[in-house]
A and B are shown apart, each in its own frame.
Chain A
Amino acid sequence: MNRDTAGDGRTDDSDIETDGGATSSAGATASRPSRGIRRTVELAGIAVTAVVAAVMLGFVFLYWAQDLPIASDLYAAFRSVGRGMDAVFGTNVFRHPIMWQSMATGVLVGVVAPLVGSFLVHREMALIGETLAHTAFAGVAIGILVNATTGWDGSLLLVALLVSIAGALVVQWLTERTDAYGDVPIAIMLSGSFAVGTLIISYGRGLTGINIEGYLFGNLAIVTAEGARLMGVLSVIVVVGVLATYKQLLFITFDEQAARVAQLNVTGYNTLLVVLTAVVVVGAMQVLGVILVAAMLVVPVAAASQIARSFRETTYLSVIFGQLAVIGGFAVSIGFGLPSGGSIVVTAIAIYLATIVGSGFSVKAISAHG
C-alpha cells in the first residue's frame, strides 16, 4: 500500500524507450527530411486515385446517360479510348463497356472499402464486415426467390443492400446489449445468414438460371450496368459520410469511453459505421464475392498500419494500397483468366507482405474481432 521509491518531480522524457518498441529521438529527428518526400508521394497517390475514381464514376454516368446529346459524344470518345488501349496492350478488354463497368466497380471498391476499414479494423470489428457480407448473400438469395416466385425482376443487389443494412442494425443492436463486440452472437449471425441463403438458393435453383458462384467468389461478368451505377451512388454516400464524420469516428475508434464523456453520440456513430460497412460489402460483393469481400476491408488497412506514422496516413495508404490491389488483381484476372475476387485479395496480401518486409518484419498486432 505504500511506495518505496522517491521521485524528484522532474518532467523529462528519459523514459522514451522504456516500452512499446519506442524509437529514439535521434532517429525521429533523422527521419524528418524523408517525411516531406513521403507525404508528397502519399498525396500524389491519393490524387491519382481520386482522378481514376472520378474517371470511373464519369464512365458509369456516361453509360447511363449515353442517349443524351452531349453525353453521347463523350461516351463515344470513351469507347474509342478503350479501343485505343486494346490496340496498345494487344488485348480485347477495354473496348467492352461491361469491362469498364467491372473496373469502375472495382476501383470504387478499392477506395471505399479501405476507407471504412480503417475505422473498422482498429475498432476490432473486422468480423462484422464478414458477417454483413454473408447477410448480403442471404439478401441475394431472398431476391432470387422473390424473382422466381413473383416474376418481379428488380435488382438483386438492392435486395441484398436492404437485407445487409437490416443485418447491420441487428449487429449493432446485439453489440449494444452484449456490452462489447462479442464474437459469439456475431458468429451465429454470420453462419446463420449464410445457412439461410444456401437453403433459399437450393430451393430456388430450379426456378432460375442465376449463377450463384459469381456472388460467392466474385466475377467480373456479373457486374451489370445497374450494379456499377449502384456502386457509384453508394461510393459517393460512403465517402461523404466518412469525410463528414471523420473526427467523431476517429475519437470513438481510439477511445470510446472518452468520446462518450465528451458527449459524442457514440451509438449513433457506431450505427453509421456498421451501415456504411453494409453498403460497402454489397457493392464489393460483385467483384470480390461474399467469401472474400471482408479482405478488402482488412488487408489494405493492415498493410497501411504496418508503416503509417499517423492515422491520417493510415487512411491515405489504405486507399492507395486498396487501389493497387484492385488494379493489380484485375491485371492478373484478365491476364490469366482467373476469378477477380481471388486475384485482388492475393494481390492485397502480397502488398501486406511487402509492408511487413518494408517495416523490418515487425508485424503489428491487429485483432480481427473484439
Chain B
Amino acid sequence: MTSIIDLDRVTFSYGDTVAVRDVSLSVEAGEFLGLVGPNGSGKTTLLHLMLGLHAPDEGTVELFGQPVEEFDDGGRIGYVSQKATSRGGAMPVTVRECVTMGRFAHAGHGRLTDADRAVVAEAIETVGIGDLADRLVTELSGGQKQRAYIARALASDADLLALDEPTVGVDAESRDAFYALLDDLNDDGITIVLIEHDIGVVTDRASRIACINTELYHHGDTESFVESDALAEAYGATGQVLHHHH
C-alpha cells in the first residue's frame, strides 16, 4: 500500500513544553486511523504536524510522498478542525458557500465554472443535506454542520479526510449517522484520520489506532490495541474499552 502520511521521529514543543516526542507512524492509503489519547496528550498537535500546520522541531513529515513543507496540492486534503465545528460566530455563510470553498484550491484566482458548481451540488447531496444548501451554517445543528464540512472536503476531491473531534456537541443519533457516512466514504477509498475522545467509537470504526500521550503508546490494528495495555499506560490508569451495541 502507498503511504499517505509518514512521520519519522517527530518531536514538537510549545516553548519548554514537549507536546509530541519522538513519534514515528505512517498512514496508508484507504486506512481509517483513529487517534486517541487523554486530554492534552498532543493529539491535535500530532494531526497539525501531519498536515503541515506545525513544523516539527525534530524529525520529518511526508504527505503524499512529499516533504510536508513542499506539499502544495491542498485540494487532496479535507480538514475539519475542532474550532470550525465548535465556533459560535455569526458569520453569515450558507452551506453552499461553505462547500464551494472546497473548490478554491482548484480554481485559484480564476472564476468557478459550472463544473465546479456541479461538484459542489453533488457533494451537498452526497452528505444528505441537499435541502439545506441555502441555509446559513450558523443555523444548522451540530450534526448538520459536520456534514457541511465533510461536503466541503468531498468537493475538493480529497483523498485524505482529517477530522479533529468532529462530534463534540452533537447528539448521539446524529453522531451515529455521521460515523456511518464516514464508513461509506472510507469504503469508497478515502483515507481517514480521526481524533475522537470516545474510544468506543474509534475502536468500532477504525482499522488502526494510534494512542498517544506525548509519546506514541500504540500504533497498530484495532484488535491488538483493545488487547494491549496501551490504553491504561497512556491514560495513566486502568481502563477498558467498551463497545456500543446497535
Contacts and interface: CB of A to CB of B under 8 A. Distances in A.
Interface of A: 1-3, 5-23, 25, 28, 122, 124, 244-245, 247-248, 250-251, 253-255, 257-264, 305, 308-314, 364-366
B64 to A, nearest CB: 12
A261 B139 contact: no
B143 A262 contact: no
Given A17-B141, A248-B109, A250-B97, 13 more contacts: A8-B176, A12-B177, A13-B128, A14-B173, A15-B173, A15-B174, A245-B109, A251-B104, A258-B84, A260-B52, A309-B92, A365-B90, A366-B90
A2 B201 CA distance: 8
B139 A264 contact: no
A18 B91 contact: no
Across the A-B interface, the 5 shortest Cβ-Cβ residue pairs: A7-B176, A263-B74, A2-B242, A5-B172, A262-B74
A16 B144 contact: yes
Contacts of A245: 109
Nearest to A317: B92
B244 to A, nearest CB: 5
Q: Interface size for chain B: under 10, 10 to 19, 20 to 34, or 35 or more residues?
A: 35 or more
Interface stretch (B3-11, B19-27, B129-137): B129-137
Contact of B92 (A9, A25, A308): A308
A262 B107 CA distance: 12
Interface string B51-88: 11100000000000000000111110101110110001
B131 A25 contact: yes
A28 B171 contact: no
B34 interface: no
Contacts of B175: 7
B187 interface: no
A15 B101 contact: no
Contact of A244 (B105, B109, B171): B109
Contacts of A9: 176-177, 180, 246
26 contacts: A1-B199, A2-B198, A2-B199, A3-B200, A3-B201, A7-B173, A9-B176, A9-B180, A11-B128, A11-B180, A11-B181, A13-B131, A15-B171, A247-B107, A248-B104, A248-B109, A251-B104, A254-B91, A254-B93, A258-B84, A258-B152, A260-B52, A261-B77, A262-B104, A309-B94, A366-B90
A261 B97 contact: no
Nearest to A261: B79
A258 to B, nearest CB: 5
A28 to B, nearest CB: 6
B213 interface: no
B246 A8 contact: yes
Given A9-B176, A254-B91, A1 B97 contact: no
B181 A364 contact: no
Contacts of B168: none
A73 B135 CA distance: 52
B243 to A, nearest CB: 8
Nearest to B130: A13
A365 B90 CA distance: 6
A2 B81 CA distance: 23
Contact of A263 (B73, B152, B174): B73
Interface in B217-246: 239-246
A364 to B, nearest CB: 4
A135 B139 CA distance: 38
A263 B75 CA distance: 8
B244 A364 contact: no
Nearest to A6: B246
Contacts of A13: 128-129, 131-132, 144
B53 A260 contact: yes
Contacts of B246: 6-9
B239 A1 contact: yes
B40 interface: no
B156 interface: yes
Contact of B91 (A6, A253, A312): A253
B73 A310 contact: no
A6 B92 CA distance: 34
A258 B79 contact: yes
A28 B95 CA distance: 14
Contact of A255 (B101, B143, B242, B244): B101
B81 A264 contact: no
A28 B201 contact: no
A19 B142 contact: yes
B98 interface: yes
Contacts of B98: 254
Contacts of A305: 90-92
B121 interface: no
A255 B198 contact: no
B138 interface: yes
B51 to A, nearest CB: 5
A1 B139 CA distance: 30
